[in-house]
Amino acid sequence: MRVLITGASSGIGREFALQYAAAGHDLVLVARNVERLHALAADVHSQFGVDAQVLAADLSNRAQLTIVEERLRSDSAPIDLLVNNAGFGTTTSFGTADLHREQEMLEVLVVAVMRLTAAALPNMIKRRSGGVIVVSSVAGWMPGGTYSAAKAWATTFVESIAGELRKTGVSAMALCPGFTVTEFHERAGIEREAVPRFLWLDVRDVVASAIRDYSRGKVVCTPSLRYKALGLFMRTLPRWIWRALNVGLSGPRR
């Protein structure tokens, strides 16, 4: 199996690369930080003997996004699994946000996910095998700014295409983690001390849960019992209560 992973240079994406490489799968690693990608490619090759292609791309840039789309459409060394993981977050409330940054976020979390999935599926359907994992978030189950709206779209998108893909041999799954210990939150300006310790997840456990649930054909994966319970509460709480609480959860959850 060959796995293409976006946002592979750090965090959840890097852990996907390590765990799939450990299982003997070749990789295509996509991110902006080419030095980190090459270091990761060398690491997985030396540790596990797998091939890892490096593809430097900023997914908020349509021209660079096209390069990744073309790789997904290629019949040469075809992609068997697309992991849409590239992240983007901000803690600024929408009323005072930089609109350019908000649009960049949507380019990465919505447009890129849609376009890359669209590029990957035709060949997979033709082969009657393959799949897509989209890293979404529990933030999509609550009103919390552009980030939450993008993650709500991502989860609904996956649930929709999973239904369309029945009987094709191709699958789709949304991974909806909560707070996960990675560099992502540091870059977004979220201090770990501001979040209760029990809400933090280990990135290795998150990815292991995702890989296990994907292999079982699940459509939505929510790692850990605590987030499964919280998720049930979050999804059943009436929307008007969320609005009345005015929690201001505009920041990223993973």
CATH number of the domain enclosing 209 = 3.40.50.720
The per-residue pLDDT for 92 is 65
Asked if residue 104 belongs to a domain, the reply is yes
3-state secondary structure of 214: helix
How many domains, the chain?
1
The per-residue pLDDT for 181 is 81
Which residues, listed in sequence order, are joined to residue 54 by a DSSP beta bridge? 29
Q: Which residues of the chain have pLDDT under 50?
A: 247-254
C-alpha closest to that of 183 among 14, 9, 6, 10: 10
Asked if residue 7 belongs to a domain, the reply is yes
Q: How many CA atoms lie within 13 A of 104 on its CB side?
A: 12
The per-residue pLDDT for 174 is 98
The per-residue pLDDT for 185 is 54
Token couple for 83: 């992991």
Question: Domain range spanning residue 59?
Answer: 2-245
Q: How many CA atoms lie within 13 A of 24 on its CB side?
A: 0
- The burial of 181, by beta-carbon neighbours within 10 Å (0-12 exposed, 13-18 middle, 19 or more buried), is given as middle
Asked if residue 77 belongs to a domain, the reply is yes
Asked if residue 250 belongs to a domain, the reply is no
Catalytic residue among 10, 60, 136, 209: 136
Q: What share of the chain is helix, strand, coil (3-state, %, to 5)?
A: 55, 15, 30
- 167 carries an active-site annotation: no
The per-residue pLDDT for 188 is 52
Catalytic residue among 60, 137, 147, 171: 147
Catalytic residue among 10, 20, 148, 151: 151
**pTM exceeding the 0.75 threshold for the entire prediction:** yes
Q: In this structure, what are the phi and psi dihedrals at residue 52, rounded to the nearest 5 degrees?
A: -135, 110
C-alpha closest to that of 146 among 194, 197, 208, 188: 188
- 214 carries an active-site annotation: no
- 147 carries an active-site annotation: yes
Asked if residue 209 belongs to a domain, the reply is yes
How far is 47 from 21, CA to CA, in rounded Å? 9
Residues ≥6 apart with Cβ < 8 Å to 203? 11, 12, 15, 180, 181, 182
